[in-house]
A and B are shown apart, each in its own frame.
Chain A
């Protein structure tokens, strides 16, 4: 493969040991996928360092301790505790304090410590044709499909990309892989983010690792709906990019995907996803979770309106999860007050599946982490439902955002009605 002069200098340690190791690892990745060369990246969304996984915060600390500095703008992915107020979620101090060490390590490297699955709502907004690296599959799909940036579904190596500003040219960094492979005809009429997560979930199942062209939507989805659509696909399948003609750069409205393998998502399929994730007892839920992926400012406005003047039912807890930046904006806009007055909690940096509720991680016994007994979690996102099932391993109830709030305030599950329009 071709390496630039600077790539070779990095390999020789010209910019320090951390950058040398990062470049050596990126060269191995390049060789594995037969990449011809490396590209300059403009942004990276990197691993937080997760306190619930043994040795994981230490891994970030070791990179920072070698003197690593980020060469491009960097945001950090979701973490295992709300670092400003872990006690409100029942997380032990030992866990919160360990998680906080990752924040210090990222600050030393110059990363924006956003700790979120939706860094775009915190201002990280790569543009058309910018190469980026992302550890979060939801960020990857949003960047590729809505912003026209170029990203693979990465793991830890997003950190190496951030340190070097370089990434191997393969996968979705190449034009030839950024074309639709399937045509999905949507005859359902999704409305709101919960519907769009379910639509995405159905599409991801149909095309697995493909690039679906989405046809048949009766209007342009709003930004929150586009976000929801992508995370749904990235959850049920390995989808890293979708194409909506007239929305996804550079595909104009005339793109039709004629001749590609076809699939269809009708109202029955959409309702089926809600049914599949409604396995819990309809009066037996103890947590209602809103904000997966982390809520945008627009979604915070919506949740605030829904909760205004209401009161969460006894025995039910409500979590609204968002990132720190949006939480601060929401506080200053007076949106947190009605949520808190209703008895809801506003949580940042983490979410139910990412916090100490998960049973699939391996915390150091010294942390004293004990996942609480949860009967059922009611959610407004197919992504959260999928991972609650797999990682918290309890039943779920899935409905729209409006009906999730209604359920929270009445203590009784309000399922999403079938839409006939």
Chain B
């Protein structure tokens, strides 16, 4: 990836956030896979198991359906353990979007397929839910 790359995206939740990317290849359920108090991934089926999502730009292929997802996303926010932003490959359940709006966590779905080949864990990403894009931070 060239420094300063920028990919267009479909904006699901407005707002601007920046943080190190945490890239997963498995689906994540906000209800059950995360410990609210610490933001640690406790779900054994996630390849992020053991890692902490707080302050990260969480890059996920999909979220697993649960109508309770909103409550756990909001609880992460209340505890200050929430991800900075979500970058999703597939359209999530309305509950996830509702939780993200309530928690002011921007969410985008990159429409530029190149994103998925280029993205590396730990790189600093800037997610812009207003301008509908995700960009590599030039200082990253």
Contacts and interface: CB of A to CB of B under 8 A. Distances in A.
Nearest to A31: B11
Contacts of B91: 33
Given A28-B101, A155-B70, A362 B75 contact: yes
B79 interface: yes
Q: With a 10 A CB-CB cut-off, give which of B67, B71, B75 has the most chain A CB atoms.
A: B67
Interface stretch (B17-25, B48-56, B92-100, B119-127): B92-100
A156 B102 CA distance: 8
Given A29-B94, A360-B32, A53 B71 contact: yes
Contacts of A171: 94
B67 A53 contact: no
Nearest to B69: A155
28 contacts: A25-B101, A25-B102, A29-B101, A32-B13, A32-B97, A33-B97, A47-B71, A53-B75, A54-B79, A55-B78, A56-B74, A59-B74, A136-B67, A153-B65, A153-B93, A153-B94, A153-B95, A155-B69, A155-B71, A155-B95, A156-B70, A156-B74, A156-B98, A157-B70, A157-B94, A208-B65, A237-B65, A361-B36
A154 B95 contact: yes
Nearest to A153: B67
Nearest to B92: A32
B37 A362 contact: yes
B70 A54 contact: no
A281 interface: no
Interface residues of A, number: 33
Contacts of A59: 74
Contacts of B79: 54, 362
B32 A154 contact: no
Interface in A24-49: 25, 28-29, 31-33, 47
Contact of B65 (A32, A154, A238): A238
Contacts of A47: 71
